[in-house]
Amino acid sequence: MMTIREANENDIPRILQFVRELAIYEKLESEVVATPEQMRLWLFEKKKASVLFCCNDGLEIGFALYFYNFSTWKGCCGLYIEDLYIQKEYRGRGFGKALITEIAQLANKEGCARVEWACLDWNQSSIDFYKSLGACPQEDWSVFRLTGPSLEAFSKS
């Protein structure tokens, strides 16, 4: 039976396991440097993001991490899904859709204007899945990022 539940501090090892599995899937494993202490601080002490687990017969088989953003054009918040991951053997069985549905319902309940996420350009199976939900790619926009040494250098300029 499929269930969705909120993560708690005791789930940090499982969250990090899924983060690593997602990074391996995305061919970016070497970029994962998150520690249990960082996850505890940012997720459960500062409450800057939330994690939902999708479970099959009580076993966590995937997760979604999301947080609030703000649209100045809409004048209200939205939800941003940073990570969405379902273990390979459970894909195609409605678990990912259930997680996105849960987040969409939360967005509607709280009056958010939208739910957004990013997807790697090469990940056609995910792109097809997202389009099947009615999601539209934002083809006129590019994501920019300051991180690591460039962030540090720029912040001191």
Confidence (pLDDT) at 86? 98
Token reading at 13? 């090892």
- Report pTM: 0.94
CA separation for the pair 126, 113 (Å, rounded):
23
**Beta-ladder partners of 59:** 56
Contacts of 32 (CB under 8 A, 6+ apart): 19, 20, 23
What are the 10-residue block averages of pLDDT along the chain, 157 residues in total? 97 98 96 97 98 97 98 96 98 97 98 96 94 94 91 93
Instruction: Supply the pLDDT for residue 88.
Output: 96
For the record, the structure tokens of 51 come out as 């994690």
C-beta separation of 101 from 64 below 8 A = no
Closest CA to 116 of 73, 78, 76: 78
What is the DSSP annotation of 36-103? HHHHIIIIIIS---EEEEEEETTEEEEEEEEEEEEETTTTEEEEEEEEEEE-GGGTTSSHHHHHHHHH
How do beta strands 76-86 and 115-117 pair? parallel
At residue 19, the pLDDT reads: 98
Active site residues: 130
Predicted confidence at residue 152, as pLDDT, reads 94
